[in-house]
């Protein structure tokens, strides 16, 4: 018997999660999504052609017809949508991926028997290679807790954490893929401008970084030690890192992380 999963919101994160569910197990899920705009509905329909689409005003119908509901809307839209669907939420699983919206805020707007889960998947979730920190509201039994974890493991590694860590993990895990891509983009550009064909540049650079990540994971090598081992005085790596250090890049990155963390904590308090 298929499990019916509803998505409130049909944007990028909803498409990634729906794709993650269907990856390898298309016959296990029946998907339905609601959308506020025609554009997001069309994009969701192209990415997930087997899904049924509802207009936003039919959100209560979507919830009534689904066992599990992913809340994938902007933070400022959450409370209004929760009030809209409240009569239909008894005994439903409500999984929110909205930044800054606490379990307590959601619980105040939902039926008392609703099971609330807050999660933060990241971009690689589409491939089942993401990391998803999550926390649970009250009322989850042991069996359902295990089922919830297995559901989130469809998107990669699922790690249950204390809710107070969510602002920090938003900065590190939620935003992490963007930091990586922001650093990688100028390397791609330099490679192509210097004469390396784009396909080869992409393949070799991605393999270099993924291989380095595997090395750190499998050997527990400290990143600082890895830099030290790669940096010969007067050598090529040393020349590059010296320029970065002259520009105080680590201090700049720390300021960027502090700014992101302050913003995440501000959202949490709203």
Ramachandran angles phi, psi of 161, nearest 5°: -135, 165
Tell me whether residue 220 is exposed, middle or buried, using C-beta atoms within 10 angstroms of its C-beta: 0 to 12, 13 to 18, 19 or more.
exposed
Superfamily of domain 174-269: ProC C-terminal domain-like (1.10.3730.10)
Q: Any idea where the domains of the chain sit in the sequence?
A: 3-166, 174-269
Domains 3-166 and 174-269 fall in the same CATH topology: no
Query: CATH says 3-166 is which class?
Result: alpha beta
Could you give the angle at the alpha carbon of 148 between the alpha carbons of 72 and 73, nearest 5°? Answer: 5
pLDDT band at 38 (very low <50, low <70, confident <90, very high): confident
Contact (CB, 8 A) for 97 and 158: no
Going through 22-107 in order, the beta strands assigned E by DSSP cover 29-35, 52-55, 68-71, 93-96
| Percentage of the chain exceeding pLDDT 90 | 80
Residue-wise pLDDT tens digits, 55-113: 889 999 999 999 999 999 998 999 999 999 999 999 999 999 998 899 999 999 999 99
Q: What's the token pair of residue 109? A: 């707007």
Cα 204 to Cα 207: distance, rounded to the nearest angstrom: 5
For residue 270, what pLDDT is reported? Answer: 58
For residue 269, what pLDDT is reported? Answer: 62
Poorest-confidence range of 28-37, 154-163, 198-207, 248-257?
28-37
For residue 1, what pLDDT is reported? Answer: 74
For residue 125, what pLDDT is reported? Answer: 86
Residue 40 has pLDDT above 90, yes or no: no
- CA distance to 4, 26, 208, 211, per residue, from 219 (Å): 42, 36, 16, 12
pLDDT band at 238 (very low <50, low <70, confident <90, very high): very high
Residue-wise pLDDT tens digits, 160-198: 999 999 999 999 999 999 999 999 999 999 999 999 999
Residue 206 has pLDDT above 90, yes or no: yes
């Amino acid at each position: 018997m298929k499990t019916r999963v509803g998505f409130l919101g049909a944007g990028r994160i909803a498409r990634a999660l729906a794709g993650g569910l269907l990856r390898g197990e298309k016959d296990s899920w029946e998907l339905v999504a609601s959308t506020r705009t025609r554009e997001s509905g069309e994009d969701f329909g192209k990415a997930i052609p087997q899904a049924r689409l509802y207009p936003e005003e039919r959100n209560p119908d979507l919830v009534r017809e689904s066992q599990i509901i992913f809340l994938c809307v902007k933070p400022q839209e959450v409370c209004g949508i929760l009030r809209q669907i409240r009569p239909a939420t008894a005994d439903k699983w409500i999984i929110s991926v909205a930044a800054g919206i606490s379990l307590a805020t959601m619980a105040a707007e939902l039926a008392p028997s609703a099971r609330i889960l807050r999660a933060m998947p990241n971009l690689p979730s589409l491939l089942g290679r993401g990391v998803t920190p999550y926390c649970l509201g009250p009322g989850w039994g042991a069996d359902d807790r295990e089922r919830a974890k297995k559901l989130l493991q469809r998107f990669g590694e699922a790690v249950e954490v204390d809710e107070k860590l969510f602002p920090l993990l938003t900065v590190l895990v939620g935003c992490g893929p963007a930091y990586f891509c922001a650093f990688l983009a100028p390397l791609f550009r330099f490679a192509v401008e210097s004469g390396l064909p784009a396909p080869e540049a992409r393949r070799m650079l991605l393999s270099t970084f993924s291989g380095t990540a595997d090395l750190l994971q499998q050997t527990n090598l400290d990143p600082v030690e890895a830099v030290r081992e790669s940096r010969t005085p007067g050598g090529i790596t040393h020349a590059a890192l010296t320029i970065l250090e002259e520009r105080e890049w680590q201090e700049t990155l720390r300021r960027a992380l502090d700014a992101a963390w302050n913003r995440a904590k501000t959202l949490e308090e709203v």
